[in-house]
Structure formats: C-alpha cells, structure tokens
C-alpha cells in the first residue's frame, strides 16, 4: 500500500486550440476539467497500475465537493483535512505547434491556522493503522503557504521510523531538510535539482546544460547518493534520465514520442518507478517502467493517466 502526500491540490483545466493568437479572443469547444496536482497524478497512475494507494492532502472552499467528486469518478482513495483554503486552478493550453503545451499556474491561498496540526494528526493515524499495510510514502510537489518548513521532513522522519520506504519528488528546503532521514529515492526534475543544489546554473529562470554544468550536476547527485544512502533520479522532459545509485552514475535513454499533453509525465514516471520497486524490480528496471508510464501519459489529453 502506498501513501501519496501532496499539500497543494489542483483543479486542472485543459483547453485545446489549433493555435493561439495573443491579444485576441480565442475560443474552443475542446476542453476538460480534471482533479490534478502532482500527488493526485501519482495516486491515479498507481491505481491504474493496479496498486492500492491513499492520497493525503488539505482541502477547503466551495470547490471541495467538486474535487472529491472527481476523485470518486477516478476511483481514488482520498484522506483530507479542512484548510479553509480555496482549491487553486491551473490551466493547460494545448496547440498544434511544436511547443504546444503552455501551463498557467495559480499560486495556492494560505491554509488556515491549525491545518498543519490536523494534517499531521491524520498522517500519524494512517501510519499507525496496521490494517492498511502501508509500505511506501511518496511526497510530491510544493506545499501551500501556511505550512511550516518542518511538516514534510517530519513526515519523512516518521515514515522511516515506521519502516516505510520513501520517495521524494520535492525541492528546496523541503528536500534538503528531509535528506537527514535517508529517503530511499529522490526524484525531482533536473531544473528543480539545479535550483536547489546548484542555483548558479540558472539564469533568467532557464537552465543551460553544457559539459561543465553537467559534471557539476553529476557530482552533486553522487555526493547526495553516497552521503544520504539514497538513489537519485532526475527527469528532464523527453531528454535522458540522469541517475545515481551509490558510487554509480548512469543515464537512461527515452524513446521520443509525440506528446499530446506532457503535463503529469513526471508524476506518471514516479508512479511507475514506485510500482516496479514494490514488485521487486532492480533500479534500472524500475527506471524503465517509469519511462514507459511517462510515455503513456504523454499520449493522453487528461493529465496523470496511463490509460
């Protein structure tokens, strides 16, 4: 059983256009609304892979019944606590041009006082429920404003104390403060990793990888893997996967696919990787399954699905 945690729930509106002309009215009859966010996407793909998964999050506002209804339609098991924070909307605009995926992201409203305490109480309750058979914790994405910097490291610490395996797809202080508890897999994307451990490589919100920068990234990955006894995986869109396992560094090729919608591909990768590791796959086999699931997700308009 997997426990997937994300503290930034999302309603994802996806709109498809032949093209978009800035400064004019652009209309489309091709649009959809889905429950999303990194943790929901991970949970949905795990469920589609036949795995048992529970998603834990915070919810508030008038859109909460819609969010939970969409989760029910997708057959997702969701645990939540009251946050009094309106659920944010994010918007994906798909066009038929080469760079056809544009993402518009709303920042989340701050959660109310007491939300963190309620969340950790629910988390501890789930962790202590032996009937669930929890074996894995996956923490994904950013957290809404109002949570302290202690909340995610605390969950990682408690999960490891309970003997769970932990996968982290997070960045910044949430990641650096969690490393002391030795997560099993660290899986941000390349940009998130660089922004956390090599911010000098990022200029004007862009990461340019040359041979020197690549060696710096490689060195940081190997240092992390050795110091914290974890495996490190960096995704980078349709480019090669970078991975470090102990003293070993390697790259895994991705077979290019024509993407309908790239949103959720990294989350599908995380779910595929986790499912394969639970099934006893080795590191390389698990990465290959992650790549397979990411490629499947790219073929659908709906984010965070493999079928």
Tens-digit pLDDT profile for residues 77-99: 999 999 999 999 999 999 987 66
pTM summary value: 0.95
Under-50 pLDDT residues of the chain: none
pLDDT at site 201: 86
Q: What is the pLDDT of residue 204?
A: 72
Residue 203: its pLDDT value, please? 80
CA distance 108 to 17: 27
Say what the pLDDT of residue 258 is.
Answer: 84
User: What is the rounded CA–CA span in Å between residue 91 and residue 292?
Assistant: 25
Tokens of 50: 């036949």
For the chain, list the domains and their CATH numbers: 2-20+31-298 (3.40.1190.20)
The confidence score (pLDDT) of residue 47 equals 98
DSSP string computed for 287-301: HHHHHHHHHHHHT-S
Q: Which residues of 23-35 are buried (b: 16+ CB within 10 A; e: fewer)?
A: eeeeeeeeeeebb
| Axis-axis angle for helices 115-128, 151-161 (nearest 10) | 10
Both tokens assigned to 13: 């509106």
Spatial CA neighbour of 10 closest among 29, 35, 31: 35
86 neighbors 60 (Cβ within 8 angstroms): yes
pLDDT at residue 98 in the model = 61
Task: Select from 142, 182, 144 the least CA-distant residue to 164.
Answer: 182
**pLDDT (0 to 100) of residue 137:** 98
Could you say which DSSP state residue 302 is in? S
CA atoms lying within 13 Å on the CB side of residue 238: 13
pLDDT of residue 235: 94
Retrieve residue 195's tokens: 């922004």
């Amino acid at each position: 059983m997997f426990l997937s945690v994300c503290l930034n729930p999302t309603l994802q509106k996806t709109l498809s256009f032949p093209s978009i002309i800035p400064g004019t009215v652009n209309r489309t009859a091709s649009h959809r609304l889905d429950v999303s966010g990194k943790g929901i996407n991970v949970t949905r793909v795990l469920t589609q892979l036949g795995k048992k998964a529970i998603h834990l999050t915070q919810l508030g506002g008038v859109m909460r019944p819609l969010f939970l209804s969409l989760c029910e339609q997708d057959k997702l098991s969701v645990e939540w606590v009251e946050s009094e924070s309106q659920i944010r909307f994010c918007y994906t605009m798909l066009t038929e041009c080469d760079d056809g995926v544009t993402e518009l992201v709303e920042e989340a409203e701050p959660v109310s006082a007491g939300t963190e305490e309620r969340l950790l109480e629910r988390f501890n309750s789930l962790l202590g429920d032996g009937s669930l058979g929890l074996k894995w914790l996956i923490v994904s994405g950013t957290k809404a404003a109002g949570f302290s910097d202690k909340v995610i490291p605390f969950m990682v610490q408690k999960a490891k104390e309970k003997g769970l395996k932990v996968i982290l797809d997070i960045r910044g202080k949430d990641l650096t403060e969690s490393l002391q508890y030795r997560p099993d897999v660290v899986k941000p994307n390349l940009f998130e990793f660089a922004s956390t451990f090599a911010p000098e490589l990022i200029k004007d919100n862009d990461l340019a990888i040359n041979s020197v920068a690549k060696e710096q990234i490689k060195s940081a990955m190997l240092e992390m893997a050795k110091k914290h006894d974890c495996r490190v995986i960096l995704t980078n869109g349709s480019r090669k996967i970078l991975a470090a396992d102990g003293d070993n560094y390697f790259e895994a090729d991705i077979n290019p696919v024509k993407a309908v919608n790239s949103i959720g591909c990294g989350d599908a990768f995380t779910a595929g990787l986790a499912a394969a590791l639970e099934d006893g796959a080795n590191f390389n086999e698990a990465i290959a399954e992650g790549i397979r699931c990411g490629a499947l997700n790219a073929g659908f308009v709906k984010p965070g699905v493999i079928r």
